[in-house]
Amino acid sequence: MTFEITHAYDAMLSPYQTVGGPISDYALIKYHTGGLGTIHLPTGKTLPHVMSQVPTEAIQTTMASLPTGGATNLMGTIGSALQMANPYIAAANLGVGLLNLGVSAYTAYKVYKMDKKIDGISAGVGRIESGIGNLDNKLTGVAHLINASTQHLDHIIHRNTLMLGTIIENQGHLGLGIAQLHHDMIRGFRSIHDTIKSESARMEALELDRQMRLLFRYYGLCSEELKAGRPAPAEDLRDCIKAGSQLIAWLDSRIATIPIGSPERLPYIVARALAWRIEVDARTLLDQGAETRARECEAIQGVIRQELKAIAGRSSIYELAVGNRGIVDQYVFLYRAQESTATLVEFPDGKMLPFFPEKSAVWDDALGPVRDAFANNAGPAAPEIIELNTMNDHRGAQAILGMPRGSTARKVYRDDLYRAMRLPENTVMPETELRELLQVVPSAWTEAKKRINSEVN
């Protein structure tokens, strides 16, 4: 395994002494996958996670002051910590949740297999009882992490199936449908029936839920053993792999029937990434299948790449900024989840928390000014004919209507702008906001497409 030693870490990530000797003997290592670990420089021994000197309470106090679902630069130049108190707020939670599953299984696996090796290293260098902590403390930390991960997996499945039904039911006004879904989820509900009224949409979503729950059941059985510090039964791990493979085959067949770029493909692709994540974790615990992981990861990223490019290429400015915003955000974070690595931080009291690269949790599509213009609809409707008074007015009209460069049109029809942007029926925009839109659209639209494409290239 290749890695680089890094000294650019803040106090929170300074590794504490695990096997004695001065603190200068310890440093962070950055693996080629992006995750962090701890190295004892004199012996070259490494651990696949970071051990912090800062008490857990200090981190919890800091994170409690953050906005719900927000990210902060707690890890200095290395990365950021993501507060996951409400799994419905940030789209980043989707990708972060998948990462969290992997770090949970991996850490439980390492705790089980490496503890005696670590004890042996400690004895050879000068054992410090308060160093790495005892096995019971570590198992408690891993149990908390796995509990959080399985709960988060349950949220992902529920949210994903609800999203499928909502997308199918609200194709005509997708942005409003997704916004209402998020509102309902934050408010809290018990059944898919509370949000989805269409029988066909509900049945499609429930079938996806059933397929994902079968895999979740096997993953849960393995998790219970890992929480207790025992190896997951090989039979259950093989069932995870079998169920994951069957789910992926079913999903691939379903995805193939839906045109690329269609919003309803998203929940199926999310489910596919989830099935792949669990299958990889199961194979890791069985010490097999390493050679197929990169190929499968690239395949999923290739699918997501197609989706994002299709959406960016076909969407009107309104669809990109509002209607498809939730779709684009989910794809971006899902793509990142395939290539990022979470870092597990173990605190002196044995508690463990996952931390993620800052890029995993932060995304700005540059369309904020466009959304602001669409959101402000107070005041009288814009006149039927819009005079193009400035160069920026001309550029905005050209971008929205697809007018040829150098066009000398002095006015455009309001309804032509509405149709080109594919606004929902009965939309009313005041003239001030419509003119503001003409000002910000050219640069924002170009920058948004650039950022989306750069994410997947």
- Residue 119: its pLDDT value, please? 47
Mind listing the pLDDT tens digit for each residue in 177-230?
A: 777 776 676 566 667 777 788 888 889 989 999 999 999 888 888 888 888 777
- Residue 284: its pLDDT value, please? 79
- Residue 136: its pLDDT value, please? 62
Bridge partners, 411 (sequence order) = 387
Question: CA-to-CA distance for 346 and 350, rounded, in angstroms?
Answer: 6
Over residues 355-359, the mean pLDDT reads 63
Structure token digits, residue 56: 């857990």
Number of CB atoms found within 10 A of residue 54's CB: 18
Q: Lowest-confidence range among 303-317, 351-365, 391-405?
A: 351-365
- Residue 449: its pLDDT value, please? 92
| Residue 358: closest CA among 85, 107, 76, 58 | 76
| Residue 241: closest CA among 176, 206, 286, 211 | 286
**What's the predicted TM-score (pTM) here?**
0.79
Residues near 181 by Cβ (< 8 Å), separated by ≥ 6? 162, 163, 166, 195
Q: Does the pLDDT value for residue 402 go beyond 90?
A: no
Average pLDDT, the chain: 74
Give the type of residue at 102.
G
Check if the beta carbon of residue 52 is closer than 8 Å to that of residue 16. yes
- Residue 39: its pLDDT value, please? 75
- Which strand (E) or helix (H) includes residue 37? strand 36-40
Question: CA-to-CA distance for 79 and 348, rounded, in angstroms?
Answer: 21
Per DSSP, the three-state class of 357 is: coil
Residues of the chain with pLDDT > 70: what percent? 65
Confidence tier at 80 by pLDDT (50, 70, 90): very low
Check if the beta carbon of residue 456 is closer than 8 Å to that of residue 335. yes
Question: CA-to-CA distance for 346 and 59, rounded, in angstroms?
Answer: 12
Q: Write the burial class of residue 53 (CB in 10 Å: 0-12 exposed, 13-18 middle, 19+ buried).
A: middle
Mind listing the pLDDT tens digit for each residue in 254-307?
A: 999 999 999 899 999 999 988 988 888 888 788 776 667 777 788 888 999 999
Q: Does the pLDDT value for residue 421 go beyond 70?
A: yes
Mind listing the pLDDT tens digit for each residue in 154-190?
A: 878 888 888 888 888 887 777 777 777 766 765 666 6
